[in-house]
Structure 1
Amino acid sequence: MSITLDKSSNTKISFEKLLENKQFQKLTPWLLPISVILLWELASRIGILSNRILPAPSSVIFTAIKLASTGELFVNLGISAGRAITGFIVGGGLGFSFGLLNGFSPVAEKLFDSSLQMLRTIPHLALIPLVILWFGIGDQARLFLVSLGVFFPIYLNTFHGIRSVDPGLIEMGRVYGLKTPQLLWDIIFPGALSSILVGVRYSLGIMWLSLIVAETIAADSGLGYMAMNAREFMQTDVVVLSIFIYSLLGKFADTAAKTLEEKFLEWNPNYRRA
């Protein structure tokens, strides 16, 4: 009986050490996706999944290599990434600016916040027919939709972060003689940064969602166009490849946001403890 207990105790200790291993922690998030892909490949090979419904991962990889060799994949990927980054910069910059303005100024909050909250309740993708009437089917319409999608998460989190800063810290800064720019840079902005980065992380997901929908509307380039064009010719592997690339881009954007959190919030004891 004691031997059994010793074995179970040793197994528990070794398992805890495995969980604490940094290399294992890096691999852990990929265990489930890799398992799903392996099961997907197996189901396709034994005939459970038809290639017309869902092609095997190996077929999708072969299609990716083929499109990459012709340059079509990289051209469309670059166009989509450019649209997404431009829309994020425009919408995120405006959202951050309005969040700062309304967070600092009660007068500005009374002037702008109610109107912005009314606009926020309108699903931005429901504006597509109106956006087409305004901008046509060019890149302006797509940039508008992406910018509008990322505007509100960054605005709300910036506004909330500034209003959530401890007033005692601000008063203490004034007692020590800090001017408004110093208060902003040394106290208010660091205190609001965690909330702002949450808005950035959330808006990055909305950025790709908005772009996916926008690029499926009469586009002549981009990943969305590549998927819609493949649908016309029943090229399911290209459609799945486009969806997979969107998911990888979303994961990359989320990882970048987490890296920013680790870099800029390492001073925060609550973040370190988490």
Structure 2
Amino acid sequence: MAQSEPLAARPAPAPIPALRSGGRARRWGGLTGAGLPVALLLLWEVLARAGVLKANLLPAPSKVLATIGELARTGELWGHLGITLARVGAGFVLGAALATVLGAATGYSRRLFQLLDPLLQGVRNIPSLAWVPLFILWMGIYETSKVVLIAVGVFFPVYLNLMNGVQGVDRKLVEVGRVYRLSGGALVRRVFLPATLPAYFVGLRSGLGLGWMFVVAAEIMGASKGLGFLLVDGQMTGRPQTILASILLFAVLGQLTDAALAALGRRLLRWQDTHGQVNNG
């Protein structure tokens, strides 16, 4: 039998190709993500200028941007932006805080889950606009009713994701923590919190998106300022460029706030070794 070749004489295995750098991947992703909206806007502009799209129904993007510029020049835009951001921010904090407490409690305690979850699931199916007359009756048309309505929209995605995240924690991890005699606080901090953070951030992002949707319904409730008011005012006065300007601003603000929350989530979850984390650099 021939002698086996010494280990030192064997050729080294071929190196694994390096993954694409995270910075380059993010830049390429940003370019490709912006390409489709820009292409659609250019097509829209061309069709509007060619007369294919009626100006009184769908004005060109240049006219919509000119409307935003005029609102900014007169200072009217900043008041609408400020009050809408304040309402969404207050509703998001209120709804997310309550959802965090109840989601964690019902996920951890089976008794609380059986007691509270059926009621909350029933309330979740009530349409958003159904709350409007009730909140006006209870709290009037002032800021409280608007913030509470937004909080209702934020609450349920955060609650559901956190509750399911806590219930989905691997039982073996919990048992290992108890074997090492971790206290209740330490068990939450070292086992439950890392295991549920990904689901929690998904819920926060979903809740924020619903918060931007609910603010439109909230600003119909007798508001005299805000992007929702600007939207309705454009409809009542027959100005489609104002309606589209409001919709565009909602889209931009929603995207910016979601991107900020997603960046915070990536920072807090950078310890994860997942396919998504590699792709996001």
Query: Given the two structures, how large is their TM-score scaled by the length of structure 2?
Result: 0.86
Question: How far apart, in 2, do the equivalents of 1:95 and 1:229 lie?
Answer: 34
Question: How far apart, in 1, do the equivalents of 2:258 and 2:41 lie?
Answer: 21
1:265 pairs with 259, 269, 274, which one? 269
Question: How far apart, in 2, do the equivalents of 1:257 and 1:130 lie?
Answer: 32
Q: Does 1:45 pair with 2:49? A: yes
Q: Secondary structure at the match of 2:98?
A: helix
Question: How far apart, in 2, do the equivalents of 1:205 and 1:66 lie?
Answer: 28
Q: Does 1:97 pair with 2:101? A: yes
Question: How far apart, in 2, do the equivalents of 1:244 and 1:252 lie?
Answer: 12
1:148-201 C-alpha deviation (Å, 9 max, x unpaired): 111111111111111111111111112223211111111101101111111111
Match of 1:63 in 2: 67
Q: Does 1:186 pair with 2:199? A: no
Question: How far apart, in 1, do the equivalents of 2:189 and 2:255 lie?
Answer: 31
1:79 pairs with 60, 79, 83, which one? 83
Match of 1:6 in 2: none
The answer to whether the 8 Å contact 2:146/2:221 transfers is no
Match of 1:9 in 2: none
1:224-266 C-alpha deviation (Å, 9 max, x unpaired): 1112222222222111100100011121122123212311222
Report the Cα offset of residue 94 of structure 1.
0.2
Would the alpha carbon gap of residues 22 and 84 (structure 1) be closer, same or farther in structure 2, given more than 3 Å must change? closer
Q: Which has the higher contact order (CA 8 A, sep 6+)?
A: 2
Q: Secondary structure at the match of 1:194?
A: helix
Match of 1:224 in 2: 228
2:238 pairs with 210, 234, 241, which one? 234
Q: Secondary structure at the match of 1:63?
A: helix
Q: Does 1:165 pair with 2:169? A: yes
Runs of 4 or more consecutive aligned structure 1 residues displaced over 4 Å after TM superposition: none
Question: How far apart, in 1, do the equivalents of 2:159 and 2:75 lie?
Answer: 38
The answer to whether the 8 Å contact 1:125/1:145 transfers is no
Q: Does 1:196 pair with 2:200? A: yes
The share of aligned pairs that are identical, in percent, is: 37
Match of 1:120 in 2: 124
The answer to whether the 8 Å contact 2:162/2:199 transfers is yes
The answer to whether the 8 Å contact 2:216/2:228 transfers is yes
Q: Which runs of 5+ in 2 are unaligned?
A: 1-19
Report the Cα offset of residue 268 of structure 1.
1.7
Q: Secondary structure at the match of 2:263?
A: helix
The alignment yields a C-alpha RMSD, in angstroms, of 1.8
- The number of aligned residues is 257
1:26-79 C-alpha deviation (Å, 9 max, x unpaired): 211111100010011111111111221111111111111111111110111000
Report the Cα offset of residue 87 of structure 1.
0.3
Match of 2:12 in 1: none
Would the alpha carbon gap of residues 132 and 259 (structure 1) be closer, same or farther in structure 2, given more than 3 Å must change? same
Q: Secondary structure at the match of 2:238?
A: coil
Question: How far apart, in 1, do the equivalents of 2:242 and 2:102 lie?
Answer: 41
- If you compute each CA radius of gyration, which structure gives the higher value, 1 or 2? 2
Q: Which runs of 5+ in 1 are unaligned?
A: 1-15
Question: Whose helix proportion is higher, 1 or 2?
Answer: 1
Question: What one-letter code is carried by the residue in structure 1 that aligns with 2:170?
Answer: D
Larger deviation, residues 207-216 vs 249-258: 249-258
Report the Cα offset of residue 125 of structure 1.
2.5
Report the Cα offset of residue 22 of structure 1.
4.5
Report the Cα offset of residue 203 of structure 1.
0.8
Question: How far apart, in 2, do the equivalents of 1:192 and 1:227 lie?
Answer: 38
Match of 2:150 in 1: 146
Q: Does 1:212 pair with 2:216? A: yes
Question: What one-letter code is carried by the residue in structure 1 that aligns with 2:277?
Answer: R
